Amino acid sequence: MFLGITIGLALSASVFAGWLLSRVSESEEGTPEMSEFSKAAEVVFLEALKKQALVLGQAALAAGALVYLVLAFFTFKGQAGAVQTGFAFLAGVLFQALAGFAAARIFFRSALKTAAAVKRSGAEAFTLALWSAGASAVITLALSLAGVTALFLLVGGWDAARNAPLKIAGFCFGSVFAALFSRLAGGLYSEAACALDSAVPENAGAVLAGNSARNAVNLGADIFDSAAAENLAAMALGAALWPVYGSKAIVFPLFARACGLAACTAGVMRAGSSGEGGHMDALDKGFAAAGVTALAGLFLGCSLGLDGNMWLFMATVIGVVSAVLFTSAARYYGGHRHRPARMVAKAASGGAAAALIRALSSGFESVAAPVALVAAAVMGSYYCGVRGLESCCASGWLTERTCGLYGVAAAIVGMMSVSGYILGLGVFGAVSGGAQVINDMTHQEETVRLDTGILAAAGRTALAAAAGYSGAAAVLASVLLFFAYMLKTSGLISRPFETVDFAGAEGLAGGLLGAMLVFLFCAYCLRACAALRTEDGASVEPAALSNFVLKRLIIPAALVIGLPLASVLIFRRSGLSPEVLSAMLISVVGSGALMSAFIRNTAASLENSLIFMEETGSSGPGAEGHKAASEACSSGVVLKDTVAPALNALIKFLPAMALVLAELFV
């Protein structure tokens, strides 16, 4: 029944998403000029996406074959286990790619419909943008859930649930592999398009195709693989509770994900029906409705699947509350009306250097709030897990550490239960931004452009909130994958493996190498961007642009895969490779998460300072302060659009690889 309810909720939410899209498609497309502009940008963007998908498919087939060969012939996993893992890996890549194409198609249709709707009513435009964004979010996360659930059923389902999560962990690895590739390639392609003025000219078409559409696709990819990672890692930790709850603790994360889809639909309907206040007020009301619906679903899940354990339900509540706080912090540092943007705008009067220094200060400061929230959520949920399962500890069925880690898993499940609505917020921001570009570049009436600007302003705030949440979700999903890796490794080696000793030589070496990897990865990503602005890059023909970009991915990809493998294999003979790899993973997750948040918020404060100047009239285009902020902003955009998104994928990629290839590393 538990799994049946999960599938039923997911199917119902998917049908609802289809209904929303049908309602959006019934609206008018606007003038022929608007339609022509949007379709031209769509053709350019989808052409680039198809080229990326072709190369991704080739890389995925090679990587899947390599995963199979390594597990089949260099570990004791066996042929059957290697086939299952390789198949799951390819399924993860496929479902991630499908979600990306779906998000892109929905974006362009919705941006055009929203731009046309502004002429009739700002409220109608808001509703269309929100409905299309909600549908896109539901489809993205429904694909993630469908992939995990289908593989779970293929390997035995309920009857073989105890061993199923580790058999299908390749799905998570595949989805993160695809996300890392697409975020690197997508960021570099957008940079190349603007720098070379070739495949996508340096005009508003590039803004629409390379920025707004890329925001929708990349944010969906990020939350897709975070959801897949959370599902599979939480299921693996749930298998450790088999003596207590049997299969139900393993299926609980899937049930929570389905409840999250229902929460997204409830939030979209509540926000779309809000007739009073501004756009952000309506979105906040929708968030409240989504949170309440998610909590109701989590309570039902704990009652049905976890025998009514209220301590574990409290852990999920901690996760939902953390999601609210993460988005609030992101709105503060990513909004154009808050102190960070105002301070950068004020500093810009002293020149570009002063603006950049102030933005860097804001970026460094911005990492404090999410780190404190993550630490508090982990400690609080760990305590809830220990208290909720203390009778199992006393009886000797479970260790205190296992109980605490499942509490952390429950909190992350709770946090991800509102991911659908938050992804919808981000897509809403992208769609409203695309609508603004369409109306501006087709020279609509002044009142129409002003109304579209109001909608886009709310969209920018919503997108900032979603981006901040996405970064936090990436960190917590990585933590959960790391816990699952340690749990799996402890069953493969003949000694206890519950802690990581940074005081030992191997732990210290692994930690330093992990931090170094993050900085080298950033360096080579930026070097690839710089190559696109040199004379060599400028001489590339438009038809060869994709190949030029993809060649720049070789070094970052080799670094990400090669350094951990080389380090582990060096220490394998001494039997210390698990310690080295664990220290490296912790260091990569910690330093990568901080670097990503720093880059994202530094660039956001620079961009928002320009918006603040223009909105308040304190310094318009052409003024010295505006010129200074714009000059400083140009570098921040490269960091935000290329490096920060790739880091979110990197910190999930390495723990996922460690989990899937754990047999190789012992």
Rg, C-alpha atoms of the chain: 24
26: Cβ contacts below 8 Å, ≥ 6 apart: none
Cα–Cα distances in Å, from 353 out to 342, 349, 361? 16, 10, 12
495: Cβ contacts below 8 Å, ≥ 6 apart: none
Span 31-48, average pLDDT: 82
DSSP secondary-structure letter at 160?
G
* Residues 649, 177: Cα–Cα separation, whole Å: 8
Report the pLDDT value the prediction gives residue 276, as an integer from 0 to 100. Answer: 57
Residue 553's nearest CA partner among 286, 280, 181 is: 181
Report the pLDDT value the prediction gives residue 603, as an integer from 0 to 100. Answer: 85
Report the pLDDT value the prediction gives residue 200, as an integer from 0 to 100. Answer: 45
Q: How many CB atoms lie within 10 A of CB 44?
A: 20
* Residues 402, 586: Cα–Cα separation, whole Å: 19
Residue 261's nearest CA partner among 398, 423, 387 is: 423
* Residues 471, 40: Cα–Cα separation, whole Å: 32
* Residues 645, 665: Cα–Cα separation, whole Å: 28
Q: Is 205's pLDDT higher than 70?
A: no
Report the pLDDT value the prediction gives residue 634, as an integer from 0 to 100. Answer: 66
* Residues 463, 221: Cα–Cα separation, whole Å: 15
Residue 648's nearest CA partner among 514, 554, 516, 522 is: 522
Q: Give yes or no for a contact between 258 and 413, defined as CB atoms under 8 angstroms apart.
A: no
Report the pLDDT value the prediction gives residue 541, as an integer from 0 to 100. Answer: 54
Q: Is 190's pLDDT higher than 70?
A: no
Span 1-12, average pLDDT: 81
Q: Is 67's pLDDT higher than 60?
A: yes
* Residues 365, 602: Cα–Cα separation, whole Å: 10
Q: Which residue has the higher pLDDT, 496 or 373?
A: 373
* Residues 288, 268: Cα–Cα separation, whole Å: 11
Q: Is 199's pLDDT higher than 50?
A: no
Report the pLDDT value the prediction gives residue 543, as an integer from 0 to 100. Answer: 54
pLDDT tens digits along 209-240: 557 788 888 888 888 988 999 889 899 888 88
The pair of three-digit structure tokens given for residue 150, joined into one six-digit string: 């289908």
pLDDT band at 575 (very low <50, low <70, confident <90, very high): low
pLDDT tens digits along 289-320: 999 999 999 999 999 888 888 999 999 999 99
pLDDT tens digits along 160-177: 777 888 888 899 999 999
Q: Could you tell me if residue 443 is left (phi over 0), alpha (psi between -120 and 50 degrees) or otherwise beta? A: left
Report the pLDDT value the prediction gives residue 52, as an integer from 0 to 100. Answer: 80
Report the pLDDT value the prediction gives residue 209, as an integer from 0 to 100. Answer: 54
* Residues 150, 95: Cα–Cα separation, whole Å: 12
443: Cβ contacts below 8 Å, ≥ 6 apart: none
Q: Give yes or no for a contact between 435 and 455, defined as CB atoms under 8 angstroms apart.
A: yes
196: Cβ contacts below 8 Å, ≥ 6 apart: 532, 537, 538, 540, 542, 545
Dump the DSSP string for 107-127: HHHHHHHHHHHHHH-HHHHHH
Span 626-635, average pLDDT: 65
* Residues 99, 142: Cα–Cα separation, whole Å: 9
* Residues 489, 497: Cα–Cα separation, whole Å: 7
* Residues 216, 133: Cα–Cα separation, whole Å: 9
Span 246-266, average pLDDT: 90
pLDDT tens digits along 68-100: 998 888 777 778 888 989 999 999 999 999 998
Report the pLDDT value the prediction gives residue 201, as an integer from 0 to 100. Answer: 47
Report the pLDDT value the prediction gives residue 42, as an integer from 0 to 100. Answer: 82
* Residues 252, 327: Cα–Cα separation, whole Å: 25
Q: Is 408's pLDDT higher than 90?
A: yes
* Residues 524, 519: Cα–Cα separation, whole Å: 9
Q: Is 189's pLDDT higher than 90?
A: no
Average model confidence (pLDDT) across the chain: 84
Report the pLDDT value the prediction gives residue 540, as an integer from 0 to 100. Answer: 53
Q: Could you tell me if residue 557 is left (phi over 0), alpha (psi between -120 and 50 degrees) or otherwise beta? A: alpha
pTM, to two decimals: 0.90
93-97, 287-291, 388-392, 532-536: segment of lowest average pLDDT:
532-536
Q: Give yes or no for a contact between 206 and 377, defined as CB atoms under 8 angstroms apart.
A: no
Report the pLDDT value the prediction gives residue 195, as an integer from 0 to 100. Answer: 57
Q: Give yes or no for a contact between 302 and 312, defined as CB atoms under 8 angstroms apart.
A: yes
Cα–Cα distances in Å, from 659 out to 483, 653, 654? 9, 10, 9
Percent of the chain exceeding pLDDT 90 equals: 28
Report the pLDDT value the prediction gives residue 48, as an integer from 0 to 100. Answer: 77
Residue 597's nearest CA partner among 448, 431, 491, 467 is: 467
Span 475-500, average pLDDT: 84
Span 328-343, average pLDDT: 83
Q: How many CA atoms lie within 13 A of 494 on its CB side?
A: 1
* Residues 177, 187: Cα–Cα separation, whole Å: 16
* Residues 166, 589: Cα–Cα separation, whole Å: 21
Residue 464's nearest CA partner among 288, 597, 630 is: 597
Q: Give yes or no for a contact between 431 and 107, defined as CB atoms under 8 angstroms apart.
A: yes
Q: Give yes or no for a contact between 138 and 16, defined as CB atoms under 8 angstroms apart.
A: yes
Report the pLDDT value the prediction gives residue 536, as an integer from 0 to 100. Answer: 53
Q: Is 206's pLDDT higher than 60?
A: no
